[in-house]
């Protein structure tokens, strides 16, 4: 596989998990001086289109030193497969939806689970924190951050 340069993180509504993954990954790439990788995020559904990230997600990011205040939610468009090198699903439901929208085997092969980049992960899904406590969002961020570190490290290989 060639080094991915265009990555899109996908969760349900693009207001919690995928924006956290996008912000964290962009920060890690910035810290590594990587300007050759473009990251974005989207939701499998468009019910939050145009909205900012969920306030508890923004707070969890801020508490960890990240800025998620500029996020704007988008719905994933299957035509984006033409432009993407890697489509990163946050759970199995997103992975199934994305693979069903892929038009070719090559597009299906670009869909991966985020936690597959974390060798210490205790599962393959990032649980949806929506409606949860600040601690639930903080725990979610820890899982996402560990996997994003692994993803960025994989880009170096």
Quote the pLDDT of residue 1: 42
Q: What is the pTM of this model?
A: 0.96
Do 23 and 68 contact (CB within 8 A), yes or no? yes
Query: Which positions are catalytic?
Result: 11, 17, 128
Token pair in block for residue 61: 């990011």
Quote the pLDDT of residue 3: 53
Do 146 and 114 contact (CB within 8 A), yes or no? no
Do 92 and 125 contact (CB within 8 A), yes or no? yes
Q: What are the domain boundaries of the chain? A: 6-156
Classify domain 6-156 at the CATH class level.
Answer: alpha beta
Which among 10, 11, 42, 40 has a CA at the least distance from the CA of 26? 40
What are the pLDDT tens digits along the chain (157 aa)?
445 589 999 999 999 999 999 999 999 999 999 999 999 999 999 999 999 999 999 999 999 999 999 999 999 999 999 999 999 999 999 999 999 999 999 999 999 999 999 999 999 999 999 999 999 999 999 999 999 999 999 998 7
């Amino acid at each position: 596989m060639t080094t991915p340069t265009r990555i899109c993180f996908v969760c349900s509504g693009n207001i919690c998990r995928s924006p956290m993954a996008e912000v964290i990954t962009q920060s890690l790439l910035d810290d590594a001086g990587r300007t050759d990788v473009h990251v974005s995020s989207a939701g499998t559904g468009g019910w939050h289109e145009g909205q900012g990230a969920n306030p508890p997600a923004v707070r969890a990011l801020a508490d960890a030193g990240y800025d998620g205040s500029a996020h704007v939610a988008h719905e994933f468009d299957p035509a984006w497969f033409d432009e993407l090198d890697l489509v990163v699903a946050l759970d199995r439901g997103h992975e199934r939806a994305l693979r069903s929208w892929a038009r070719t085997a090559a597009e299906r092969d670009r869909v991966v689970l985020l936690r597959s980049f974390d060798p210490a992960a205790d599962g393959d899904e990032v649980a949806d924190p929506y409606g949860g406590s600040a601690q639930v969002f903080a725990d979610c961020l820890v899982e996402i951050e560990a996997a994003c570190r692994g993803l960025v490290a994989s880009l170096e290989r």
